[in-house]
């Protein structure tokens, strides 16, 4: 292999002084966890076997079991990796300066594209499996709670003027979450239609209403 120029996927916390080339090969670990996440999306949680992960990561199974001694260890690492990745992507899409100053639309759009991303599918697979797998649930819960805290905080940041009107604010948040996630989950098995664009537009409108913002005039058509 060529430890210096590594062809592994981009992300991995570049430890400041992580000298050894050997240690650099911790990128193999991220390769494995990313392969696991891909498998969750492609085959579902339960059908993601160690064989499959190793295959998708381009390693022998034995090599993988060197890095992660058991299947659960891989899952644990994958959950962690997925969580931080998801959080980073979400933060980025939220803090991106809105093109037209329309906070509502930007917020809805941000979460809407988030729940349509494969990472959400992977997390969803894990969440469903965790419903009847207490061990997985205990692994997943911290990440899930952390993400939800972050989600709420992001909402507060996006709508600073909303401070104090707690009840309507929470309502708008809950509504958005349920509608967008409900739609996204529905789209896992159904295909999107033009009717769904109307739902998104309606959601925008109602959030504006709850926030006490003026109606948008003639902008019925979302992209």
SS3 category, 5: coil
Which tokens is 30 given?
A: 């991220």
18 binds DNA (CB under 7 A): no
Are 129 and 135 spatial neighbours (Cβ–Cβ below 8 Å)? no
Which tokens is 14 given?
A: 């570049």
Closest distance to a copy of itself from the beta carbon of 209 (Å): 10
Q: Considering beta carbons, is residue 50 or 144 the nearer one to DNA?
A: 50
9 binds DNA (CB under 7 A): no
Are 44 and 125 spatial neighbours (Cβ–Cβ below 8 Å)? yes
- Residue 220 backbone class (left: φ over 0; alpha: ψ -120 to 50; beta: rest): alpha
Per-residue interface string for the shown chain with DNA, residues 22-41, x marking contact by CB under 7 A: xx-xx-x-------------
Q: Considering beta carbons, is residue 156 or 188 the nearer one to a copy of itself?
A: 188
Range 29-33, long-range pairs (CB < 8 A, 24+ positions): 29/67, 29/68, 29/77, 30/81, 31/57, 31/58, 31/59, 32/57, 32/59, 32/64, 32/67, 32/68, 32/74, 32/77, 33/74, 33/77, 33/78, 33/80, 33/81, 33/82
59 binds DNA (CB under 7 A): yes
The site partner of 23 among DNA, a copy of itself, none (C-beta below 5 to 8 Å per kind) is DNA
Among 9, 11, 15, 51, binds DNA (CB under 7 A): 51
Q: Considering beta carbons, is residue 3 or 142 the nearer one to DNA?
A: 3
Q: Which positions touch a copy of itself (CB under 8 A)?
A: 42-47, 124-125, 127-133, 137, 144, 167, 170-171, 174-175, 177-183, 185-186, 188-189, 195-196, 198-199, 202, 206
The site partner of 62 among a copy of itself, DNA, none (C-beta below 5 to 8 Å per kind) is DNA
Per-residue interface string for the shown chain with DNA, residues 72-111, x marking contact by CB under 7 A: x---------------------------------------
Range 42-45, long-range pairs (CB < 8 A, 24+ positions): 44/125, 45/125, 45/126, 45/128, 45/129
Residues at the interface with DNA (CB under 7 A):
1-3, 19-23, 25-26, 28, 47, 49-51, 59-63, 65-67, 69-72
């Amino acid at each position: 292999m060529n430890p210096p120029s590594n062809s592994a996927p981009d992300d991995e916390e570049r430890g400041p002084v992580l000298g050894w080339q050997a240690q650099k090969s911790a990128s193999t670990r991220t390769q494995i966890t990313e392969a696991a996440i891909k498998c969750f999306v492609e085959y579902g949680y339960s059908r993601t076997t160690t064989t499959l992960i190793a295959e998708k990561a381009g390693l022998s199974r034995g090599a993988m079991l060197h890095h992660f001694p058991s299947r659960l260890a891989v899952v644990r690492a994958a959950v962690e990796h997925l969580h931080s990745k998801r959080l980073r992507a979400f933060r980025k899409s939220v803090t991106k300066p809105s093109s037209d100053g329309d906070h509502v639309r930007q917020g809805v759009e941000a979460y809407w594209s988030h729940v349509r991303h494969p990472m959400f599918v992977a997390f969803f697979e894990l969440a469903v499996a965790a419903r009847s797998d207490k061990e997985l649930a205990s692994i997943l819960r911290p990440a899930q709670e952390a993400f939800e805290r972050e989600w709420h905080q992001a909402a507060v940041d996006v709508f600073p003027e909303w401070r104090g009107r707690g009840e309507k604010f929470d309502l708008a948040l809950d509504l958005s979450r349920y509608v967008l996630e409900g739609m996204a989950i529905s789209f896992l098995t159904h295909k999107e239609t033009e009717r769904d664009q109307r739902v998104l537009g309606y959601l925008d409108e109602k959030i504006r209403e709850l926030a006490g913002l003026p109606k948008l005039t003639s902008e019925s058509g979302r992209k």
